[in-house]
C-alpha cells in the first residue's frame, strides 16, 4: 500500500513538472516578443506621438499615421526631450503663448509607473521615519524603525530595544487625532533620494486615512478626512518639488485618485477600463498636460488631461496578444493547463495556473485512448489502473507521460 501511495505521489510530481516545463520550453521556441507602444502627447501638434516599428528612417507616428524621424520627434516633444534640445540650442522660448524656461520644464516634468507587482506584495512591517526638517540639505536615514500594531513602537536597529519615550510620544499624538489601532496599511517613500520628506500615509482600523511624519523630533499627525468607505487597496507616495499631490491612491473598484496638497482633496483621474490586478499604469506630467496610459495584455489606452485633470483627448491601440497568435492558438490544443511559480503581475512566489479552454479536449480524448491501450499492452488490471486513468482524464498529456514513465505496481 505504501509503495502504491509513493508511486501516486511521484506521478503527481511528474505532472506538475511537465505542466511547468513543457509549456515553458514551447514558448521559448515559438514566442515572439511584443513591443508595447510608447504613447506621448505633443504640445506642438496637439496630437499623440506613438513609437512604431522602424519604417526606413521613421520611428514615430501621430494618430493620423504621419511619420516622423528622430530629430522631428525631439522637437515635437520639447518637454520630454528638453536636454537634447537645450544641448543643440533648439529649445523653444515660447510655446502656446507660455514662456518656456529649463527651470519650469524640470519642475513640472515627472513620470511614474505602477504595475500589478507593485500592489501585490507583502511589506516587511518595519518602516523608517525620516526627520522631515533636520535643517540639513540632505535627508538622513534614522537609526531606528517603527511599526504600528496596538500602538506605535520605535525599535533601535543596533540594540533591538524599544524606545519607550519616542513610542509613547507618537502613540499619544495619533490617539489625540482620533487614530484607531492597529494600522491596516502604511505607505511611504523611505529613501533619502528625494528632495524632501512627507512621511507616511496610514489607514487605521476604522479605514480613516492619516498623514504622519516627524518634524524636528516631534510627531506630526493629520486626519485627512478622506472617505473611510473609499476601499483603498494601494497608496503610492512620492515627493516632488512640484508639490501638487502627495500620492496616488487606487481603490478596489479600480478608480485612481491623486491626494492633493490642497487640504488633502482627492482628484479622480478620468481613466476607463483599468484593472489594478492586471494592468500597468503610466503617468507622464509636463508643463501643459497629464498623459495617463493603461497598458493591458493586448492594448493600450491613453488619456490626456489638462493641468486641472479635465480629459481633452484619448487614444487606443490594440495588437495581437500572445495567446491569440498562431503559436498561442496551437498551444490551446496542446496544453490542458500550465503551471508557473511566478508572475509578472505579482511580486510573490505562488502557484499560478492557466487553463486555456475547451480546445485541449481533443488531445485529452486521445491521451485517454492511448492510456487504455498502454494498460492492455502492459497486461495490467484495469481495476488497479483506475487511478492512472483518472490521472490522465484530469491532466491529459502530462498524466500520460507520468504513467508511461512509471509502471503500475501489482
Could you report the per-residue pLDDT of 358-369, keeping only the tens digit for each? Answer: 888 999 999 999
Low-confidence stretches of the chain (pLDDT < 70) are: 53-58, 409-410
Predicted pLDDT of residue 54:
53
Residue ranges with strand state E in 56-151: 58-62, 67-68, 94-95, 98-99, 110-114, 144-148
Predicted pLDDT of residue 53:
64
CA separation for the pair 151, 270 (Å, rounded): 38
CA separation for the pair 147, 345 (Å, rounded): 27
> What is the number of other CB atoms lying within 10 angstroms of the CB of residue 311?
15
The reply to whether the predicted model has a pTM over 0.85 is: yes
CB-CB contact of 80 with 286 (8 Å): yes
Predicted pLDDT of residue 253:
96
CATH 2.40.128 in the chain, residue ranges: 121-276
Q: Tens of pLDDT along 209-259?
A: 999 999 999 999 999 999 889 999 999 999 999 999 999 999 999 999 999
CA separation for the pair 170, 158 (Å, rounded): 21
Predicted pLDDT of residue 5:
83
No. of helices (H) and no. of strands (E), the chain? 10, 23
Q: Which stretches of 150-261 are DSSP H helices?
A: 164-176
Residues 6+ apart with CB under 8 A from 14: 398, 401, 402, 405, 406
Of the chain, the end-to-end C-alpha distance in Å amounts to 10
CATH number of 121-276: 2.40.128
Closest by CA position to 271, among listed 241, 301, 226: 301
Predicted pLDDT of residue 280:
96
Grid cell listed for 49: 506621438
Closest by CA position to 398, among listed 24, 16, 29: 16
Q: What are phi and psi of 12, to 5 degrees?
A: -65, -40
For residue 257, what are the β-bridge partners?
A: 249, 268
Quick one: DSSP state of residue 324? Answer: G
Burial class (CB in 10 A: 0-12, 13-18, 19+), 123: exposed
Amino acid at each position: 500500500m505504501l509503495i502504491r501511495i509513493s508511486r501516486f505521489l511521484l506521478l503527481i510530481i511528474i505532472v506538475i513538472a511537465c505542466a511547468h516545463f513543457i509549456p515553458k520550453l514551447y514558448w521559448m521556441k515559438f514566442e515572439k516578443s511584443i513591443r508595447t507602444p510608447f504613447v506621448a502627447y505633443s504640445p506642438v501638434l496637439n496630437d499623440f506621438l506613438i513609437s512604431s516599428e522602424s519604417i526606413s528612417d521613421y520611428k514615430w507616428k501621430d494618430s493620423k499615421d504621419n511619420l516622423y524621424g528622430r530629430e522631428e520627434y525631439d522637437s515635437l516633444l520639447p518637454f520630454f526631450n528638453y536636454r537634447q534640445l537645450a544641448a543643440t540650442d533648439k529649445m523653444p522660448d515660447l510655446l502656446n503663448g507660455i514662456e518656456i524656461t529649463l527651470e519650469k520644464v524640470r519642475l513640472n516634468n515627472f513620470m511614474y509607473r505602477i504595475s500589478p507587482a507593485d500592489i501585490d506584495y507583502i511589506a516587511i512591517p518595519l518602516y523608517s521615519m525620516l526627520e522631515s526638517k533636520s535643517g540639513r540639505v540632505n535627508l538622513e536615514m534614522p537609526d531606528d524603525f517603527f511599526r504600528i500594531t496596538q500602538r506605535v513602537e520605535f525599535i533601535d536597529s543596533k540594540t533591538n530595544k524599544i524606545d519607550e519615550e519616542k513610542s509613547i510620544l507618537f502613540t499619544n499624538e495619533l490617539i489625540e487625532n482620533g487614530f484607531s489601532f492597529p494600522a491596516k496599511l502604511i505607505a511611504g517613500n523611505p529613501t533619502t533620494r528625494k528632495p524632501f520628506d512627507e512621511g507616511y500615509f496610514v489607514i487605521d482600523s476604522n479605514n480613516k486615512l492619516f498623514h504622519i511624519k516627524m518634524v524636528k523630533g516631534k510627531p506630526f499627525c493629520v486626519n485627512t478626512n478622506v472617505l473611510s468607505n473609499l476601499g483603498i487597496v494601494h497608496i503610492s507616495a512620492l515627493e516632488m518639488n512640484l508639490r501638487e499631490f502627495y500620492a496616488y491612491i487606487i481603490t478596489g473598484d479600480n478608480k485612481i485618485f491623486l491626494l492633493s496638497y490642497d487640504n488633502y482633496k482627492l482628484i479622480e483621474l478620468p481613466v476607463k477600463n483599468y484593472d489594478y490586478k492586471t494592468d500597468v499604469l503610466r503617468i507622464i506630467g509636463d508643463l501643459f498636460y497629464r498623459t495617463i496610459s493603461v497598458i493591458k495584455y493586448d492594448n493600450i489606452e491613453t488619456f490626456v488631461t489638462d493641468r486641472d485633470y479635465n480629459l481633452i483627448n484619448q487614444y487606443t491601440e490594440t495588437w495581437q496578444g500572445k495567446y491569440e497568435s498562431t503559436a498561442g492558438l496551437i498551444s490551446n490544443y496542446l496544453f490542458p493547463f500550465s503551471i508557473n511559480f511566478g508572475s509578472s503581475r505579482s511580486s510573490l512566489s505562488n502557484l499560478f495556473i492557466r487553463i486555456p479552454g475547451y480546445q485541449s479536449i481533443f488531445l485529452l480524448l486521445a491521451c485517454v485512448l492511448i492510456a487504455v491501450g498502454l494498460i492492455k499492452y502492459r497486461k495490467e488490471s484495469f481495476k488497479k489502473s483506475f487511478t492512472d486513468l483518472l490521472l490522465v482524464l484530469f491532466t491529459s498529456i502530462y498524466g500520460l507521460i507520468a504513467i508511461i514513465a512509471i509502471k503500475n505496481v501489482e
